[in-house]
Amino acid sequence: MSDSRPDGLARLFSESQRALRRYVRRLVGSKEAAEDIVQEAFLRTYEHGNRVKTPRALLFSAARNLAVDAHRHARAAKTDLVGDFDAIGVVQTAESPEAAALAEERSRLLKAAVERLPPQCRAVFALRVFHACPYQEIAQRLGISVKTVEKHIARGLRDTHQYLRRHYEDADLRS
């Protein structure tokens, strides 16, 4: 920066913070994620110090790149979360062929129930239930608020429970 480091950054912050927050929030859709990205972008700009001729351009470029990375990470997490139920221990080894068949059926039903959830709800639910991630970590990884995580987990529990209950009620009626 052409000014001394602290004063130049303070001026850049005061002149750019509002516009940068709006810009990043439009990119990521989350106020909390935007705040984190803006802070990281300012830190990266500060670290480049006097070597940068146009710190505002670097600031917005860094923010855009961080937002793209966050979006890419969230999208990858959403599609990879459910994964292989057998590999995460949903089905335990059974002692008899009958027990193995029942365990496999339970695993299949649970997977079907989870796959019926909306994508973001499914991602949150899988991170919490199958990977034991805390709410704060889920919110951070997916770029959503903790309150949204709570709502998705509640919906996931309610919807999977209803799906399983309906399945077992239908099976009882057929017997």
Q: If we measure between CA atoms, which residue out of 3, 13, 58, 30 comes closest to residue 141?
A: 30
Of 81 and 125, more confident: 125
Q: How confident is the model at residue 4 (pLDDT cuts 50, 70, 90)?
A: very low
Cα torsion 160, 161, 166, 167: sign: positive
Alpha-helix runs per DSSP H in the chain? 5-28, 31-48, 55-80, 97-115, 119-129, 135-142, 146-174
Residue 5 predicted with pLDDT over 70: no
Q: If we measure between CA atoms, which residue out of 142, 162, 175, 167 comes closest to residue 71?
A: 142
**Full residue range of the structural domain in which residue 156 is found:** 82-174
What is the pTM assigned to this prediction? 0.44
Q: How confident is the model at residue 45 (pLDDT cuts 50, 70, 90)?
A: confident
73 shares its domain with 89: no
Residue 13 predicted with pLDDT over 50: yes
pLDDT, position 53: 81
pLDDT, position 67: 85
CATH number at residue 23: 1.10.1740
d(CA 140, CA 96) in angstroms, rounded, equals 43
